[in-house]
């Protein structure tokens, strides 16, 4: 048994809305190639929107269960409240329908209109009632950082609901040196995750909301490897009001997916954050995904650790019954 916690769906309902409303700035051509907002052009393949194709894709890669979420191209935090709510409603209705195709194997995370935190809370509560296992949000809300006071209402609700929040790199800060060679993804995405979570730690958001559990993607960015630098800064810099202990305590609330694309890095990740805080994640079906996830686990980890990462940990995190 294996459970992929980082697996993307672009529901038909959301795609049809984007094609029908030019104001979103997306073009999906006759060959189903996406161009326009938030991403370089990419093919919207069947496994994005067809549940039967998704299951076949999972089977080919020896993945049993997927906790699906919309990718950042469907976040649209820069549009107005009404447009954001329409898209999230279409996304969540589509995700729920998609996963009803095989409820034992397909689960979903809510897409939320985070540009309006109160609306995001209402949408989150409604999605949970409709079966969502948590939420998927961006590391940045069109440039607004998640540690800002305006998002406190969201974190309070997430704390109350007690479900995992997957935080996906999105709206990466401009950086001239990253514009070439696809480095805005290769370097920028891990950097965005690092910035997001270290800001949440420094602002005390995680300490105030102890039931919040975050899923960090791409192996957690640079967090597992550079948190010690932040902890040291806490001891020598007046700009930081938390203690070094607060940095390490936050790791109890963090879960890290397996996308390192490197066996040695994955082994270190497990050693650094603990076996029980690493969960299988693939980013399927994008081209930067971990395409052979079970082989990657087998290469990097012993059999018991691989089973914990692929099976036990994600099932416990999401409260899934995978005994059958």
Residue 254, C-beta contacts closer than 8 angstroms, at least 6 positions apart: 197, 213, 214, 216, 220, 223, 273, 277
Question: In this structure, is residue 101 part of a structural domain?
Answer: yes
- pLDDT score of 38 more than 90: no
Virtual torsion, Cα 18, 107, 224, 61, nearest 10 deg = -90
Domain assignment present for residue 20? The answer is: no
Pair of tokens at residue 206? 């995680």
User: Taking Cα atoms as reference points, which of 197, 204, 192, 199 lies closest to residue 165?
Assistant: 197
- Enumerate residues 6+ apart whose C-beta is below 8 A from 253: 206, 210, 212, 213, 214
Does residue 67 sit within a domain? Answer: yes
Query: In this structure, is residue 29 part of a structural domain?
Result: no
Model pLDDT, residue 35: 85
- Given a cut of 90, is residue 322 above it in pLDDT? no
**pLDDT tens for each residue of 47-101:** 999 999 999 999 999 999 999 999 999 999 999 999 999 999 999 999 999 999 9
Confidence of residue 324 (pLDDT cuts 50, 70, 90): low
pLDDT for residue 30: 78
β-sheet bridge partners, residue 67: 107
Question: Which pLDDT does position 171 carry in this prediction?
Answer: 86
For every residue of 252-291, DSSP letters joined together read: GGEEEES--S-HHHHHHHHHHH-GGGEE----BTSTTS-S
Q: Is the dihedral of CA 49, 55, 60, 62 positive or negative?
A: positive
Give the domain range for residue 110. Answer: 3-11+46-318
19 inside domain: no
Q: Please check the confidence at residue 154 and state whether its pLDDT lies above 80.
A: yes
Percentage of residues in the chain having pLDDT higher than 90: 90
CATH number for the domain harbouring residue 121: 3.20.20.140
| Domain membership flag for residue 28 | no
2, 293 Cβ separation under 8 angstroms: yes
17 assigned to some structural domain: no
> What is the value of pTM for the model shown?
0.97
Question: 3-state DSSP helix/strand/coil percent for the chain, to nearest 5?
Answer: 50, 15, 35
Q: What value does the mean pLDDT take over residues 223-230? A: 98
CB within 8 A of 290, min separation 6: which ones?
Answer: 258, 259, 261, 281, 282, 283, 284, 296
Closest CA to 219 of 174, 261, 256, 175: 256
- Asked whether residue 158 is assigned to any structural domain, the reply reads yes
Of the listed ranges 169-173, 174-178, 190-194, 206-210, the least confidently predicted one is 169-173
**Domains identified in the chain, total number:** 1
């Amino acid at each position: 048994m294996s459970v992929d916690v980082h697996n993307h769906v672009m529901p038909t309902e959301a795609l049809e809305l984007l094609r029908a409303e030019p104001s979103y700035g997306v073009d999906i051509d006759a060959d189903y190639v996406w161009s326009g907002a938030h991403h370089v052009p990419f093919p919207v393949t069947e496994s994005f929107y067809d549940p039967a194709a998704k299951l076949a894709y999972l089977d080919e890669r020896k993945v049993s269960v997927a906790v699906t979420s919309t990718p950042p191209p469907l976040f649209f935090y820069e549009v107005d409240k009404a447009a954001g709510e329409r898209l999230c409603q279409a996304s969540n209705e589509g995700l729920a329908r998609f996963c009803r195709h095989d409820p034992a194997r397909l689960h979903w995370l809510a897409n939320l209109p985070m540009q309006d935190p109160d609306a995001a809370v209402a949408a989150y509560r409604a999605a949970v009632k409709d079966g969502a296992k948590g939420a998927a949000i961006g590391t940045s809300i069109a440039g607004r950082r998640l540690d800002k006071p305006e998002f406190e209402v969201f974190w309070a609700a997430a704390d109350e609901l007690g479900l995992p929040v997957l935080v996906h790199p999105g709206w990466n800060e401009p950086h001239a040196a990253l514009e070439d060679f696809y480095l805005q993804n290769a370097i920028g995405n891990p950097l965005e995750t690092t910035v997001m979570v270290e800001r949440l730690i420094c602002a005390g958001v995680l300490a105030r909301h102890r039931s919040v559990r975050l899923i960090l993607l791409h192996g957690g960015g640079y967090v597992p490897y550079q948190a010690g630098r932040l902890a040291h800064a806490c001891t020598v810099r007046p700009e930081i009001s938390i203690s070094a202990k607060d940095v390490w305590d936050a790791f109890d609330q963090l879960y890290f997916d397996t996308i390192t694309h490197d066996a040695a890095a994955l082994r270190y990740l497990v050693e650094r954050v603990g076996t029980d805080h690493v969960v299988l994640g693939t980013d399927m079906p994008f081209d930067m995904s971990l395409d052979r996830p079970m082989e990657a686990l087998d290469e990097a980890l012993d059999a018991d650790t691989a089973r914990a990462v692929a099976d036990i940990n994600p099932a416990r995190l999401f409260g899934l019954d995978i005994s059958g």
